[in-house]
Amino acid sequence: MPRALLLENIDPVAADLLGTAGYEVESLRGALDEADLAAALDGVDVLGIRSKTRVTAEVLRRRPGLAAVGAFCIGTNQIDLPAAATAGVAVFNAPYSNTRSVVEMAIAEIICLARRLVDRDRSLHAGTWDKSAAGSHEIRGRTLGIVGYGNIGSQLSVLAEALGMRVLFYDLEDKLALGNAEACGSLEELLERAETVTLHVDGRAGNAGLFGAEQFARMRRRSLFLNLSRGFVVDHEALREHILSGHIAGAAVDVFPEEPREQGDEFTSVLRGLPNVILTPHVGGSTQEAQHDIGRFVAGKLVDYTASGTTTLSVNLPAVALHGSSAARFALLHRNVPGVLAHVNALVGEHELNVDGQVLATRGELGYAVTDISAALPADLLAALDGLPETLRLTTFGSRTG
Same domain, 213 and 191: yes
Query: Could you tell me if 315 and 31 are in contact, meaning their C-beta atoms sit under 8 angstroms apart?
Result: no
Provide CB contacts within 8 A for 230, sequence distance 6+: 75, 201, 202, 203, 207, 255
Same domain, 75 and 185: no
* SS (HEC) of the chain: CCEEEECCCCCHHHHHHHHHCCCEEEECCCCCCHHHHHHHCCCCCEEEECCCCCECHHHHHHCCCCCEEEECCCCCCCECHHHHHHCCCEEECCCCCCHHHHHHHHHHHHHHHHHCHHHHHHHHHCCCCCCCCCCCCCCCCCEEEEECCCHHHHHHHHHHHHCCCEEEEECCCCCCCCCCCEECCCHHHHHHHCCEEEECCCCCHHHCCCECHHHHHHCCCCEEEEECCCHHHECHHHHHHHHHCCCEEEEEECCCCCCCCCCCCCCCCCCCCCCCEEECCCCCCCCHHHHHHHHHHHHHHHHHHHHHCCCCCCCCCCCCCCCCCCCEEEEEEEECCCCHHHHHHHHHHHCCCCEEEEEEEEECCEEEEEEEECCCECHHHHHHHHCCCCEEEEEECCCCEC
Same domain, 356 and 400: yes
Residue 384 lies in a domain: yes
pTM: 0.82
Nearest to 305 by CA among 23, 68, 72: 68
- State how far the Cα of 66 lies from the Cα of 376, in Å rounded to an integer: 24
Same domain, 93 and 104: no
Residue 182 lies in a domain: yes
C-alpha pair distances (Å), 3 with each of 21, 25, 32, 65, 66: 11, 6, 18, 11, 10
CA-atom Rg of the chain in angstroms? 25
Catalytic residues: 230, 259, 282
- State how far the Cα of 238 lies from the Cα of 240, in Å rounded to an integer: 5
- State how far the Cα of 170 lies from the Cα of 157, in Å rounded to an integer: 12
CATH, residue 176: 3.40.50.720
- State how far the Cα of 371 lies from the Cα of 356, in Å rounded to an integer: 8
What residue numbers bound the domain in which 62 lies? 1-97+289-309
Same domain, 93 and 240: no
Query: Could you tell me if 94 and 186 are in contact, meaning their C-beta atoms sit under 8 angstroms apart?
Result: no
Residue 284 lies in a domain: no
Residue 74 lies in a domain: yes
Judged by phi (left if over 0) then psi (alpha if -120 to 50, else beta), residue 352 lies in: left
Same domain, 185 and 119: yes
The stretches in the chain having pLDDT less than 50 are 399-402
Nearest to 385 by CA among 376, 375, 396: 396
pLDDT of residue 398: 57
Same domain, 110 and 239: yes
Same domain, 254 and 346: no
Same domain, 229 and 128: yes
pLDDT of residue 324: 81
Same domain, 128 and 268: yes
Query: Could you tell me if 366 and 382 are in contact, meaning their C-beta atoms sit under 8 angstroms apart?
Result: no
Provide the domain count of the chain.
Answer: 3
Same domain, 83 and 127: no
Same domain, 267 and 397: no
